[in-house]
Structure 1
Amino acid sequence: MKLHMYDVILEPVVTEKAARESEKFSKYAFKVHRASNKKQIKSAVEKFYNVHVTKINTINYDGKQRRLRAQPGLTASWKKATVTLKKGEKIDFTK
């Protein structure tokens, strides 16, 4: 599937674990489009944040069963990419 660069990265994952990894190991977690691959994720992160990516790990999360009153349903499935940057580089999300 041909994705535009702006469609690949959806949002950063902001958790305690992600914050700890970004401080210690220069690893950042992003929620990405389910059809995106590692090459697309790498080029999007490098262009958006002007950094050098050395490694990418991805994981697919399946939706969980939830209920709204008597109506059963599923939460959305999603994909997370953990991006490791070159030593000494950081991403500032406040800009």
Structure 2
Amino acid sequence: MRLDRSDLNLLYSTRYSKEIPDAYEWLMLDAIEGERRLFIRSDELDASWSTFTPLLKELEAKKIAPDLYLYGSRGSVGAHYLAANYNVRWGDLTGDN
């Protein structure tokens, strides 16, 4: 990591004359430069797979399909039923108590 003294100018394009790379380009540059803080370790990846693989195999074996819902909605109907089983008001953003 390299620190750079800068004025409080919140417009990156004004402060730096280079073209602003998109997110994937930044990610690739960070990987090439060996920036490890942005990526998980191999033991973390192994732990994740050992946790989720049995679940994924069970979902596949039982042919359980995900609950679909419309983009921009507050979630699937199934989520509301699940929350109701535990007396939780799922996705209620009206502020009425």
TM-score normalised per structure 2: 0.19
Name the one with the larger helix percent: 2
**Higher RCO structure (Cα 8 Å, ≥6 apart):** 1
TM-score normalised per structure 1: 0.19
